[in-house]
Every structure is written in structure tokens, then in C-alpha cells.
Amino acid sequence: MLGEGKISFWDDTWLKDQPISEFCSMTGTPSFARVEDFWTDTGWNEEVTLDVLDEWGVPREVCEEIMDIPINTGAKDIGRWTLTPHGNFTVASAWELIRNRGEKMEVYEFIWGKGISPTISVFLWRLLANRIPVDAKLQWRGVSLASKCHCCSEPDMETRLHLFVNSEAATGVWNHFAKWFPQAPNFDRGGCNLEDRLRWWQRHKRCNNKHHLCILIPCLIYWFLWTERNGCVHLEKSFKVENICRRIVIYLRNLVLAGHLGPEQWSECEPKVDFMVAQTEKSKEKRVEKVLWRPPDWPRIKINTDGSFEGRTASGFEAELKALLEGVKVAKRHNTNLWLETDAEVMSLLLEKRQLGPAETRHTMAKIILELRGTQWRISYIRREGNKVVDCLALLGRDSQALERFEGNNIPARARALARLDQLGMPSFRF
């Protein structure tokens, strides 16, 4: 956003999304010039600007767009970042720009989210990446030890696949919870891996709900198998299948009590616990909200705005901004004590917090800020149901080819009727 104009006229990106030098059709490099070199005390020096741009073959439509760029004199030039929705630079967005992404693995989407604590998610990520210190992994790293699993009556070498899938204890836990998913066939151990076992029930149910029991329970089985194994190794406890099953059920009960697990998460299953079987899906009560348009206190003027657009050359947010800009221009002719109201919550928050918003709409936002300079103003958000008059006018304006102003008797009948209801204090309702 232009302020002092201390940036390069040709090489900095201040017009659209590319430097003006990209529009030059003449060969060569223009001599360095600052944006401020093309200003006067009242705005753009149109004659000098057009002469220079014509000299370098810049299209005339680009010249017209430059003349429409607002100048916030007395303020510093402010850069806007196109890679974030709020227009501010973040290291995370810069990293996303330069990083090399690996192949996306769907299984990792199942181990993060509602119902799985971060501790368990990190463990599962390490488990699937083969970063868990089972005996076989320690031997591979050069640690000299004799491997002996604690999960079988006849101990075997402790590997990832043995501990979490094929051991006596693991088989007992998997078989116990397999009764909850009778539609899925018995698991075939031949040539399997941890991901196959994790997604066995989910694949056979063809379930796309990432928080369903068919995904949650395998994650918990892996976690509690590991905690039970660590108790045996470090605390010299005995490995008990019933301990694992009991801990998983307790974990699920706590999720149900906390409201993080509901009937939609165990649909088409046969859970063998009373706190799931007895609970039926509660019908959600429809909440009805009363929305009331409030008139301003004298002598303040209230401006309600709404935007509407068609096609791909604009956005809903830009339409809302342009509608507000026009409303402010009209209201300032009558008073400088303004109450702005809109059903665009994002725009309301940006102006309320004096933020500049996305890079794509920076020039429109700058025009609004300049128009509001020297006025007393506040802004509020209203539900769309309470903004029906301007919503009606915005739909009419979308289909119009030119700017139309309605006053007195030429106001559309529907808009006039809606305004009369607001005047009488009749509320609208949001369902």
C-alpha cells in the first residue's frame, strides 16, 4: 500500500501482482525512479506518468489503473504478503513456498485429530516411521542385547510386527475388538504390515470418517500394547491382555463423557460396552436466533452495506469492500458521524481492529481508510437476516450494468417494504 512512495516505480510490485517493468513492450531497462517522483501535492502527476509509460510501451489500460491507486500521504509504504489470507508475512507461509513436499501418505491423516491425544499421535507417527526402540531396532543400531519378547508364552524376538500384530498378546487384543466389527473378515497375517493392520476394519467398512471407531481403536491398541510392554520391561510387570482391553474401554468412555465421541463414530458397529449401546443419538435442538436491525442515535448516520458479484474476476470479499466504499462516500455528503454495519464478519473485524486485510484487496481497503479519515465512525456486524434491505439491493445491483441510485419513490417496492419492517422494529429470525 502506497504511503511515502519510497519504492521503485518499475521493479517493486505495488500495482497488481507483478512489477510495471513486466508490462513494457520496448527493449531495454528503464532508468531507476521512485513512485514519489510521479506525484504532486494533490495526487498522481498524470501528464508525467502517461508520458513515461507511453515511452516504454506500457498499455494504456495499465496507465488508467495506476491513476486509480490511492496514496496515503504521510504514512509509510506497507507491503502485503500474498501467501496468507490476512496479508501479513509469516515464516510458515514462506516455508510452504520453498519446501519440497514428499509424497502424501493417507495413513498419517488418520492418526491426528479428535479423539487421539497428541502423545498418542506422535507415538503412532514414530511407529509407522520405524522409530520405536523395540529390541530388533536397537540391535540394528549396534546395541548388543539378547532379544526376548514379553508378550508370548514362548518368547520370540521382539520386532515391530511381532509385538503389535503377530504375538499372542496382540492377537488376543485384536480378536477381542474384532467382535465390534462383524462385517469385516478375519485379518490375514500373510505379508501384512502395520499400516495394513491399522486400516483393516476401515477398508472393509469403506468408512471415510477419520474419527470412526474402526480407526480409533487400532490406534489405541498400538498405544496400549506399547505401554503394557514398557511396564513389563522397565517395571517387571506381567503382560496381560485384559489390562490393554480395559484401558482402551476406559479411554473410549472418557471420550464419550467429554462429548468427543458420539453415535456417528460407532455407526454400523456393534460395540460391546454399555455406555455406547445404551446411548442413542440425541436429536439436535434447532436454535432460533432473533435478529433485529437497530436505528442509529441522532445525529449519527447508519450505513448498511452488502456486496454481490458474478464471474471469476472478483471475489465476495472484494464486492463487500467496494459496497462499503460507495456507502461511505454517499454518507459523508450528509454527516461525518458514521455507523457502518455489514453482514461480512471478516470485513467488520478487519476495520474494527484497523487491519489492512489480504494483499489482493489492498487498494480498495486503502481507499476506505482514506475516505474514513476525518470522520467519527464505528463498525458492527449483523446477521444477513437483519440486513435484508441492502441484500435485496445488492442482488439488483449485480444484474445492473451501471451504478444506480435509488431515492424516495423510485426505491424498489420489496426494499421499501423491508425497510418499513425495520423501521417498525420487526425482528427477523435465523434458524
Q: Give tens-digit pLDDT for 319-343.
A: 999 999 999 999 999 999 999 999 9
- Identify the pLDDT of residue 354: 87
The structural domains of the chain, ordered by start, are: 20-79 (no CATH), 107-277 (no CATH), 289-430 (3.30.420.10)
The span from the CA of 19 to the CA of 131, in Å, is 48
* Per-residue pLDDT reduced to its tens digit, 10-40: 999 998 888 999 999 888 888 899 999 999 8
What sign for the dihedral angle of Cα 233, 236, 241, 243? negative
Q: 24 and 34 in contact (C-beta within 8 Å)? A: no
The span from the CA of 71 to the CA of 4, in Å, is 8
pTM over 0.75: no
- Identify the pLDDT of residue 283: 43
User: In whole angstroms, what separates CA 17 from the centre of its chain?
Assistant: 23
Measured CA angle at 317 (ends 314, 323), to 5 deg: 90
The span from the CA of 359 to the CA of 86, in Å, is 8
Q: Write out the chain's pLDDT in tens, 431 residues.
A: 888 889 999 999 998 888 999 999 888 888 899 999 999 888 899 899 999 999 999 998 888 899 999 998 888 999 999 999 889 999 999 999 999 888 878 888 889 888 899 999 999 999 999 999 999 999 999 999 989 899 998 988 999 999 999 999 999 999 999 999 988 888 876 557 898 899 899 888 888 888 899 999 999 999 999 999 999 999 989 999 999 999 999 999 999 888 888 888 888 888 878 877 655 444 456 788 999 999 999 889 999 999 988 875 568 899 999 999 999 999 999 999 999 999 999 999 999 998 889 999 999 999 999 999 999 999 999 999 999 999 999 988 888 878 888 888 888 999 999 999 999 999 999 98
Per-position DSSP letters for 40-71, written without gaps between them: ETTEE-HHHHHHHHHHTT--HHHHHHHHT---
Q: 366 and 396 in contact (C-beta within 8 Å)? A: no
Contacts of 21 (CB under 8 A, 6+ apart): 10, 11, 29, 30
The span from the CA of 294 to the CA of 427, in Å, is 10
The span from the CA of 296 to the CA of 337, in Å, is 10
Alpha carbon dihedral 107, 110, 111, 114, in 10-degree steps, equals: 170
**Element containing residue 381 per DSSP (H, E):** strand 376-381
